[in-house]
Amino acid sequence: MAEAGHAEPDPVRDPWRAPMRLALAEAERAALAGDVPVGAVVLSADGTVLATGHNEREATGDPTAHAEVLALRRAASAHGEWRLTGCTLVVTLEPCVMCAGALVQSRVDRVVFGALDEKAGAAGSLVDVVRDRRLNHRPEVIHGVLADECAAQLTDFFRNR
């Protein structure tokens, strides 16, 4: 049993805490620009940060400027090809249908997210696009990494609007 104030080690989620903190910092950049605070990081197979992104819909007027899509575009550019096999996308909020589709199309191996999105989540909450057996690629899904911090960032943003 863990001591008071100390959580039990979680071998599935703990390795993703540091990259999720990078995604949280990206999300803060979105909030400071007046956009919904969602941040994403794409890691190569060896754990190197290939790219980051945060929501830029308000700044650009582009409805597709979600953190995940921007990070995937930048990662593909850095990687030198659109297939991001071996890569992991870490994002503060469960991907929507558009972003889940982009994850499948980019062939990432894994998606790691923090907060659930029960209204629009497409990685298990509302629908499960990323693990749909009818599709040609199904990334591994790990959820709940720093979930409370990710959810609090969103709650604080909307409370202050």
Which residues contribute to the annotated binding site for Zn(2+)? Answer: 66, 96, 99
The sheet with strand 39-43 has its strands ordered as 49-54, 39-43, 88-93, 110-115, 140-143
Q: Are strands 140-143 and 110-115 parallel, antiparallel or unpaired?
A: parallel
Annotated catalytic residue within 26, 56, 68, 94:
68
Whether 68 is catalytic is yes
Please list the active-site residues: 68
